[in-house]
Chain A
Amino acid sequence: MTTEKKKIRLKDISIHTEEPLLTVTADDLMPLPPPLDQREKKAPYSPLSKDQKKSYECSLDGVSALALPKPKSKEEEEKLVERFIKGLEKLLSQNDNWLFWQPLIQSLESCVRCQTCSDACPVYVSSGNQEIYRPTYKSEILRRIINKYIKKRRKILSKLTGDDIELNWPTVARLAELAYRCSLCRRCAQRCPLGSDNGLIGRELRKLFSQEMGIAPKELHDSGTIQQLRVGASTGISSAAFQGMVEFMEDEIEEKWGKRIKIPVDKEGADILLIHNSGEFMSWIENPVAFVIIFEASGLSWTLSSEIYGYEATNYGTWYDDVQFARIAIKQVEVARKLKVKKMVMAECGHAHKGLIVIADRILVDEMNFPSESFLPLLEDLILHDRLKLDPQKNNFPVTLHDPCNVVRLMGIVEPQRRILKKICPQFREMEPHGVENYCCGGGSGFAIMNSMNFKEWRENISSRMKLKQILETFNDVLDPGIRKYVCAPCSNCKGAIRDILSSNDLWEKHSIYYGGLVELVANAMVDMKKPFIDWEWH
């Protein structure tokens, strides 16, 4: 028997309680289609241990993305609240926050509370419409806090305008966690009839916590941007280690293609500097290998870089910190300038596309304003102009495409990847919805690499649930394990999130649903490959 949950109100954000404001249960979750509909119901995430609860903030939903330590005294709490208010003032100041002031103010002022955005949010829907995950929940709270503590509305007006939220430590701690329950896919912003961007409000909150209070997930900051600025890559790969990987790739190429080639590295004056998410070298080396084969077979003038910052496309600053974002973008461009290449091409990494090609566009001036583009139009040109000899029959298995939000909705690259897949995959089928209406993989905005305490479980069972549902629906007529199926995810973070949901639901083992990038399919279709490029070995 299920008990009716208490409706959470806006002002509940500030209540002092030992228990979380909400715990999502198995009964709350959006149902999944076959074959997962018959599976035994399980809580979406485990409760934190007693010690964890004692040490870390988890009063929002019992999940800890930030591993935020509990303040040790009332004074410390008050000091943190003060710092939050200071940060909020800066967020709303044209001088301090010139980078996002205008869209932030527009988003705060234009919402008519019509809740049209709610159903667009995969987290809100997957969790069974939990109020705290509604896209407008954190925005409305922030709006009311601003009215009460920054605009300092008088008491009577405050009552009328509903600005009765108390800004105390529980409010600040819950807002910090809440900023990391939205994957910044901005599907809600796309849906909003008035252009209010709740995704941006979430990102600005993350920024306030990072830039003013030094609070950010360890995976994004300490072992993310800080590590990248220190050693060259967020994965920790050094330049020497990268060069070792290049040699390994040459061996792989010889084995699959039958040709021994020298991969161009640090080739000055090449047309193209290709930059990968360094996670590809660690987890999916076949992806950069496929790029090498395609580029070499097409006769392009191109190079990789072994220079510090030159072999890492990621820029986690995109998700939480403008300063770290700018620092990394500048370092990446400096490498390209030094190599005297004509342009930078982003490989299969969604946020690197949006970050360097679109967002950084208005930070980089003069000679730093360097041409950069996506690999997708380039790849499309090569394929549609027959620069590669391809046999689509080599890819004669069901293939579907996951659209990375950063590449599609947030950058407008929608058709090239489809034209490629239609040409090389006879059984290509779309997910529904797709294109700019796509759903996030659940790993966006850093979620794919954040594994603090029970956050990974939350991601797999709530944040990625909608993507899991879409994949199952797309392949519902070919679930037979005898038929191999391929989810094409041309983005490193998306690939990681999709790997995790396929793996934790045994979908490769029981139903042969595999995943990978786009270039792997292109390489697999090449007629002169010695061995099939896709080896269907789970990793």
Chain B
Amino acid sequence: MGGVILFIFYGSILFFIIATALRVRRCVNAPIHLHWELYKGGSIYELTEWWTKTHSTSGKKFWFMILDILFLREFYYRNRRFWYPLYVFHIGLYLLILWHAWLFIRAVVGDIETVSIFGWIWGTFSTLLTFIGGIAILIMRMRDEELKVYYPPIHYLKWIFLLLTLVGGVYAVDVHFKSSMPALLKYVREQVTFSDFERKLHPAFGPALHILFASVWLVYLPFSHLFQLFFRYYHYLRWDDVPNIRGSEMERRIKEHLERPATWSALHIQSGKRWREIASELQQTSLTESK
């Protein structure tokens, strides 16, 4: 059993890395899409001969991303009622992720025995925030008539599982390790340095359960909305205000796409020809087929 848990844990880390790489690859290799932009305010098109003006949005894009991720600003302005529990949940989650990163570093850097009580407070406080936010979101989505119609059963199972993971974490830290940060850090050090395999093969219930839960989340993360948010900003998805300039890399990619065959079947398409051909030839067909 211990071997299985060990395999799941390290396997899930490997899975996380591979799945993330594949997701990023899918996004990077996606065909360039047409210029389908939305604007929050004025754009370069407010200027005469806009194509002669400098056009840069990357700084703005980065700033939007930081504000969005840190403060869930879009939710704050668009859906305040939903923002309160969501923000409590997310701020807890961010702190919890940082706490885990700190645990991994602190476990191998410096003297474990001298660790401050602040480490325990940080972890507990983050867990509490995440739990309160999570339970509030769950209740809201179960009770709100408008929301519950669109959530399938698996959505609720996901949230329940998340809350169980948090409870599992509290059990491991406060029951198994008796709220002792040195004991916890010692355990983390064993994981990070791949030492004490005997204990790994016969893990105690508390840490084993938490590791199992964490592994499931590692497998899920590359498919989560957090990743969608990342792609939205980094791959010209929403704030994609980049014009096509003659001789540019973008133009080269578009030309490649124009050589693809158009495969759609309606009569007026002239299926089978290349995009370049069907767009530039005057077609003689035909009215809507249903008439």
**Chain A residues packing against B (C-beta within 8 Å):** 7, 9-10, 66-69, 83, 86-87, 90, 94-96, 98-103, 105-106, 109-110, 112-116, 118, 131, 136, 140, 159-163, 186, 189-195, 197, 200, 210-216, 218, 221-222, 226, 229, 322-324, 326-327, 330-331, 343, 357-359, 361-366, 369, 371, 373-374, 376-378, 381, 408-416, 435-436
Binds A, one of B106-114, B115-123, B232-240: B232-240
A281 to B280, CA, bound (A): 27
Contact between A326 and B279, CB atoms less than 8 A apart: yes
At the interface, yes or no: B290 with Cβ under 8 Å from chain A? yes
A213 to B271, CA, bound (A): 13
| Known contacts A194-B229, A213-B266, A323-B268; A115/B289 CB under 8 A | no
Contact between B33 and A103, CB atoms less than 8 A apart: yes
At the interface, yes or no: B39 with Cβ under 8 Å from chain A? yes
A436 to B41, CA, bound (A): 6
Contact between B246 and A110, CB atoms less than 8 A apart: no
Q: Provide the B250-273 mask, 1 if CB < 8 A to any CB of A, else 0.
A: 110011011010111111110000
Q: Shortest distance in angstroms between B102's beta carbon and chain A's nearest beta carbon?
A: 29
Contact between A436 and B265, CB atoms less than 8 A apart: no
Contact between B30 and A378, CB atoms less than 8 A apart: no
Contact between B43 and A113, CB atoms less than 8 A apart: no
Contact between B34 and A215, CB atoms less than 8 A apart: no
At the interface, yes or no: B25 with Cβ under 8 Å from chain A? no
Contact between A86 and B265, CB atoms less than 8 A apart: yes
Contact between B41 and A414, CB atoms less than 8 A apart: yes
A466 to B287, CA, bound (A): 34
Contacting residues, chain B, for A160 (C-beta < 8 A)? 152-154, 157
Q: What is the chain A residue whose CB lies nearest that of B255? A: A365
Contacting residues, chain B, for A112 (C-beta < 8 A)? 225
A330 to B51, CA, bound (A): 19
A366 to B49, CA, bound (A): 18
Q: Provide the B39-64 mask, 1 if CB < 8 A to any CB of A, else 0.
A: 11111111111110000000000000
Contact between A98 and B260, CB atoms less than 8 A apart: yes
Cβ-neighbour of B45 out of A210, A211, A366, A373 (below 8 A) = A373
Contact between A116 and B82, CB atoms less than 8 A apart: yes
Contacting residues, chain A, for B237 (C-beta < 8 A)? 102-103, 106, 195
A99 to B232, CA, bound (A): 17
Question: Shortest 3 CB-CB distances between A and B: which pairs?
Answer: A412-B43, A162-B152, A214-B289
Contact between B243 and A436, CB atoms less than 8 A apart: no
Q: What is the chain B residue whose CB lies nearest that of A322? A: B34
Contacting residues, chain A, for B149 (C-beta < 8 A)? 7, 9-10, 131
A408 to B269, CA, bound (A): 32
Given A86-B265, A365-B251, A412-B39, 14 further pairs, Cβ under 8 A: A96-B262, A102-B235, A115-B146, A118-B146, A163-B152, A190-B40, A197-B38, A215-B288, A361-B34, A361-B244, A365-B246, A410-B37, A413-B45, A415-B42
| Known contacts A68-B290, A113-B150, A116-B79; A412/B44 CB under 8 A | yes
At the interface, yes or no: B143 with Cβ under 8 Å from chain A? no
Contact between A215 and B269, CB atoms less than 8 A apart: no
Binds A, one of B5-13, B70-78, B161-169, B206-214: B70-78
Contacting residues, chain B, for A369 (C-beta < 8 A)? 244-246, 251
Q: What is the chain A residue whose CB lies nearest that of B261? A: A95
Contact between A330 and B279, CB atoms less than 8 A apart: yes
**Chain B residues packing against A (C-beta within 8 Å):** 30-51, 68, 72, 74-75, 78-79, 82, 146-147, 149-155, 157, 225, 228-229, 231-232, 235, 237-238, 241, 243-246, 250-251, 254-255, 257-258, 260, 262-269, 275, 278-280, 282-283, 286-291
Contact between A98 and B31, CB atoms less than 8 A apart: yes
Contact between B288 and A413, CB atoms less than 8 A apart: no
Q: What is the chain A residue whose CB lies nearest that of B157? A: A160
Contacting residues, chain B, for A322 (C-beta < 8 A)? 34
Q: Could you say which of B44, B51, B243 has the most chain A C-beta atoms within 10 Å of its C-beta?
A: B51
Contact between A83 and B232, CB atoms less than 8 A apart: no
A339 to B150, CA, bound (A): 54
Q: Shortest distance in angstroms between A354's beta carbon and chain B's nearest beta carbon?
A: 9
Contact between A106 and B232, CB atoms less than 8 A apart: yes
Contact between B157 and A377, CB atoms less than 8 A apart: no
Q: Shortest distance in angstroms between A1's beta carbon and chain B's nearest beta carbon?
A: 23
Q: Could you say which of A98, A100, A191 has the most chain B C-beta atoms within 10 Å of its C-beta?
A: A98
Contacting residues, chain B, for A161 (C-beta < 8 A)? 152-154
Contacting residues, chain B, for A131 (C-beta < 8 A)? 149
A377 to B280, CA, bound (A): 31
Contacting residues, chain B, for A358 (C-beta < 8 A)? 35, 37, 45
Q: Shortest distance in angstroms between B277's beta carbon and chain A's nearest beta carbon?
A: 11
Contact between B268 and A413, CB atoms less than 8 A apart: no
Cβ-neighbour of B30 out of A102, A140, A194 (below 8 A) = A102
A90 to B152, CA, bound (A): 26
A194 to B68, CA, bound (A): 10
Contacting residues, chain A, for B286 (C-beta < 8 A)? 226
Q: Shortest distance in angstroms between A203's beta carbon and chain B's nearest beta carbon?
A: 9
Contacting residues, chain B, for A222 (C-beta < 8 A)? 287-288, 291
| Known contacts A110-B225, A369-B246, A377-B47; A195/B238 CB under 8 A | yes
Cβ-neighbour of A96 out of B235, B251, B264 (below 8 A) = B264
Cβ-neighbour of A116 out of B37, B51, B78 (below 8 A) = B78
| Known contacts A98-B31, A159-B153; A414/B250 CB under 8 A | no
Contact between A362 and B32, CB atoms less than 8 A apart: yes
Contacting residues, chain A, for B257 (C-beta < 8 A)? 98-99
Contacting residues, chain B, for A330 (C-beta < 8 A)? 279-280
A-B contact pairs, 19 of them (CB 8 A): A99-B33, A102-B235, A114-B79, A116-B75, A160-B153, A161-B152, A163-B152, A194-B228, A211-B269, A215-B290, A222-B287, A222-B288, A327-B280, A327-B282, A330-B279, A330-B280, A362-B244, A363-B34, A366-B246
A322 to B225, CA, bound (A): 29
Contacting residues, chain B, for A101 (C-beta < 8 A)? 30-31, 33
Q: Shortest distance in angstroms between A14's beta carbon and chain B's nearest beta carbon?
A: 16
A435 to B46, CA, bound (A): 13
A358 to B220, CA, bound (A): 37
Contact between A214 and B288, CB atoms less than 8 A apart: yes
Contact between A90 and B228, CB atoms less than 8 A apart: no
Contact between A221 and B41, CB atoms less than 8 A apart: no
Contacting residues, chain A, for B244 (C-beta < 8 A)? 361-362, 364-365, 369
Cβ-neighbour of A374 out of B37, B45, B266 (below 8 A) = B45
Q: What is the chain B residue whose CB lies nearest that of A410? A: B38
